[in-house]
A = this chain, B = another copy of it.
């Protein structure tokens, strides 16, 4: 079995890594705030004191960071993974970053003879906890086949989607639609409410047939009914993704008009202090934008 290193034990990483050790893989973990590794230590993981130490004792290092800067820091920074380069070492980056960032990181890693799979995940902390993430992988297909079973410990679906950067691309593109399902429900409910429709009647109409009942819409309606917007996928993180979506669309000459509109809504929501709410809090934000709250 592959010896696995896991770097980045935040909201998502801390819920993903346990599936790896529970499946029997020897696991070494690293997190800048060491206390976040305690739960994994109890499960039997070795806690490394630096990224390089995690790399030295692993065949494959998984990184799960907030942004490209974070990924670059643990790979190329002081005591970074590349300093632990050894025969056969592979990096799987599961962070959500832009395709051109993945490609740039892959190029820098290749100077050390280290291949990269860009393998971001779809799903919230609930999916991470349940081992039911969607994992989208870009990079060499043979390498993907070697690590398919490892990735499967954390996921419901693992799909190789194409060359380097394409895992990151479909992840971002998918989040465009996630944002749009939430945003359009919020706009729909604000418009209906302002026209005098009872909110519960509006929800009854929307859930009355399957046209609009995606997982995102169904979960958001549940949150509206329970008045619970505790962050499972924070609004400021989806704002970050919208920023990367616009960055990528601009770089590739792709026209994404609703993503551009949503980006502005999210900028304003973060500016007004709602960044740490769940992204489905756009329900209340759109009501406030329209004078309903």
Contacts and interface: CB of A to CB of B under 8 A. Distances in A.
B191 A169 contact: yes
Given A162-B196, A192-B170, A252-B191, A136 B205 contact: yes
Contact of A212 (B132, B191, B215, B259): B215
Contacts of A201: 159-162, 170
B212 A163 contact: no
Contact of A191 (B123, B161, B173): B173
A169 B192 contact: yes
Interface string A122-157: 110001000010101000000000000000000011
A162 B197 contact: yes
Interface residues on A, range: 35 or more
Given A176-B184, A180-B258, A201-B170, A248 B195 contact: yes
Contacts of A187: 173, 176-177, 180, 254-259
How many identical subunits does the complex contain? 2
Contact of A214 (B160, B213, B255, B265): B213
Interface string A255-292: 11111111011000000000000000000001001110
Contacts of A191: 169, 172-173, 176, 245, 248-249, 252, 254, 256
14 contacts: A134-B205, A159-B204, A159-B205, A160-B201, A162-B198, A166-B196, A169-B197, A177-B185, A180-B184, A187-B259, A195-B252, A209-B215, A210-B214, A255-B290
